Amino acid sequence: MTKLLKTRLAKEKPTGHDLVLVGCLEREAPETGGLPTPVAAAARRAAGRGGWSGKRGQTSTVQVGGKSPTTVVLRGLGRRARLDRRALKRWLGEATRVAAADGFRRPLLALPALQLTAGFSGALFLFRELALSGYRFDGFLKKPPGGRLRDIRVVAPPGDLAPYQDGWRAAGKVAEAIGFARDLANTPPNVATPEWMAEQARGLAAERGMEIEVLGTEELEKRGMGGILAVGGGSANPPRLVRLEWGSGDRSVSFVGKGVTFDTGGISIKPGANMDEMKFDKSGACAVLGIAQGAADLELPFRFRAYLPLAENMPDGRAYRPSDIVRCYNGKTVEVLNTDAEGRMILADALAWAAEEKPDDLVDFATLTGACVIALGQHGAGLFSHHDDLAADLLAAAGEANEYLWRLPLWPEFGEEMKGLHGDLQNIGVRWGGANSAAAFLSNFVRGARRWAHLDIAGPAYVGRGNKRAFGATGYGVGLTLAWLMTGAGRS
């Protein structure tokens, strides 16, 4: 299944490595305390060479002979004061890529003592990013390209090993959850139909002992879930609504994820350019399945529910059309003015069901609007919530998880725009502030939940084809949500 770089913690003075990669801060001596004596001496020799300063990306290489020869590579981390999570993540990616390209098989990584990588949360960050640096989606290639590392050992910093081991262990589960979300979102829409997504949820539920319910067309009709039925009506791949439940505890947390397996726009069809990217329009649902796997594997002490509305938005003789009036699960009617504003139509039913079950917290993830990408760029998601305390916790967790998240307003004027003429609501507002009006639309379906937050992940859910190396789903949202839940569980 998911392909990640396997990480391990090295024991004292580890031997048998063909490569020892030593991260070295600019204008500081290499820290070699945990390394075997000949390797440490070699690292000092490499640092003593003329021209070595340790600036970012600079390397200095020395061979150590003997029975099993070792290559020692010093790699500059730049200045301590300039080294943040993003810079270190990039450094790890480059370092492991070069090591793989050079054909090394048993690499060892030694880093200087850094605030960034200290304790539980530092280990969580370091090992999560290392593991994900090996992520590939190559299951559809006849012959996957070689030249990747399988595993890497890391020298543990001196001091209290217990929190470090805990962080390492948690990182493995978080990285697997993110990898799982990426695999699902990367799967093409001729395979990843609504029923296929439901099948993946069934697989997860069976493995993790979760309760699962999958509603098909008939059940959706019986329950009056007109939004999902309308959007899914134009596709030969019928819609589904998945509900998962697991865990126990006093606090209940529910998640909803937009699962449009492909968004053509429907009758309000999209232009052809980059339409292929709309396979990633299921990324919200994929993130929620990743969160479910991670929360279960980390044994987080809450009562969880997850809802995945799944539909394919296609133009067809049975497709819904502009001016249709659709009744949603909570009884509110929506006048459809644009069939490309389909995400909110399927979220309406799923949110209303989730809210009806009265969770403490309800959080939804959706690749909802191009407007959010215009506002924030592709690097981060928009956060909408009426609840300052929940918003603050999610923003803090995003920082912890190295994901960008920015709060945007839910002013009442946006809600006014979404009021309908012949229906209670209409599915589009005015041209401006499209991410905000979409969020305001959703707020009509969350009564019953104590707190609610909406994350518009249209920008950061995937990297486009312009960046060949990074192209594909990111699993955005899984890391920040698990960080939020771990803090709530007293672990961080």
- The site for ligand BES (CB under 6 A) is made up of 263, 281, 338, 340-343, 367-371, 373, 428, 434, 458
Rank residues 281 and 361 by Cβ distance to Zn ion and give the closer one: 281
H or E stretch at 125: helix 119-133
Q: Please, are residues 42 and 94 in contact by the beta-carbon 8 Å criterion?
A: no
- Active site residue: 8, 44, 202, 270, which one? 270
Residue-by-residue DSSP string for 458-473: TTTTEE-TTSTTT-EE
Write down the least CB distance from residue 94 to ligand BES, Å.
28
Q: Return the one option of ligand BES, Zn ion, Mn ion, none that residue 370 interacts with (CB less than 5 to 8 A, by type).
A: ligand BES
Residue of 334, 337, 331, 291 whose CA lies nearest to 441: 334
Q: Which two tokens stand for residue 279?
A: 């396979």
Write down the least CB distance from residue 278 to Zn ion, Å.
7
Q: Return the one option of ligand BES, Mn ion, Zn ion, none that residue 197 interacts with (CB less than 5 to 8 A, by type).
A: none
Write down the least CB distance from residue 12 to Zn ion, Å.
53
Q: Return the one option of ligand BES, Zn ion, Mn ion, none that residue 393 interacts with (CB less than 5 to 8 A, by type).
A: none
CA pair distance 393, 435, nearest whole angstrom:
21
Rank residues 125 and 365 by Cβ distance to Mn ion and give the closer one: 365
Rank residues 263 and 324 by Cβ distance to Mn ion and give the closer one: 263
Write down the least CB distance from residue 265 to Mn ion, Å.
5
Cross-strand bridge partners of residue 462: 473
Rank residues 148 and 344 by Cβ distance to Zn ion and give the closer one: 344
The residue at minimum Cβ distance from Mn ion is 340
CA pair distance 210, 387, nearest whole angstrom:
29
Rank residues 266 and 433 by Cβ distance to Mn ion and give the closer one: 266
- Active site residue: 89, 243, 305, 344, which one? 344
Residue-by-residue DSSP string for 133-201: HT-B--TTSSS-------EEEEEPPSS-HHHHHHHHHHHHHHHHHHHHHHHHHHS-TTT--HHHHHHHH
H or E stretch at 290: helix 283-297
User: From residue 157, how far is each of 75, 166, 277 by CA, in Å?
Assistant: 18, 14, 42
Write down the least CB distance from residue 376 to ligand BES, Å.
12
Q: Which residues bind to Mn ion, rule: CB under 5 A?
A: 263, 340, 342
Rank residues 144 and 432 by Cβ distance to ligand BES and give the closer one: 432
Q: Return the one option of ligand BES, Mn ion, Zn ion, none that residue 78 interacts with (CB less than 5 to 8 A, by type).
A: none
Say whether 270 is catalytic.
yes
Q: Return the one option of Mn ion, Zn ion, ligand BES, none that residue 238 interacts with (CB less than 5 to 8 A, by type).
A: none
Q: Return the one option of Mn ion, Zn ion, ligand BES, none that residue 373 interacts with (CB less than 5 to 8 A, by type).
A: ligand BES
Rank residues 371 and 394 by Cβ distance to ligand BES and give the closer one: 371
Rank residues 31 and 340 by Cβ distance to ligand BES and give the closer one: 340
CA pair distance 334, 337, nearest whole angstrom:
9
Q: Which residues bind to Zn ion, rule: CB under 5 A?
A: 260, 263, 281, 343
Residue of 388, 441, 383, 445 whose CA lies nearest to 408: 383
Cα Dmax for the chain: 83
Q: Please, are residues 25 and 53 in contact by the beta-carbon 8 Å criterion?
A: no
Q: Return the one option of ligand BES, Zn ion, Mn ion, none that residue 456 interacts with (CB less than 5 to 8 A, by type).
A: none
Write down the least CB distance from residue 384 to Zn ion, Å.
17
Residue of 473, 469, 439, 442 whose CA lies nearest to 459: 473
CA 398 from centre of chain: 11
Residue of 18, 7, 16, 14 whose CA lies nearest to 32: 14
Q: Return the one option of Mn ion, ligand BES, Zn ion, none that residue 338 interacts with (CB less than 5 to 8 A, by type).
A: ligand BES
Three-state DSSP class for residue 317: coil
Write down the least CB distance from residue 367 to Zn ion, Å.
6
User: From residue 255, how far is each of 243, 347, 454, 480 by CA, in Å?
Assistant: 10, 11, 10, 13
Write down the least CB distance from residue 239 to ligand BES, Å.
15
Active site residues: 270, 344
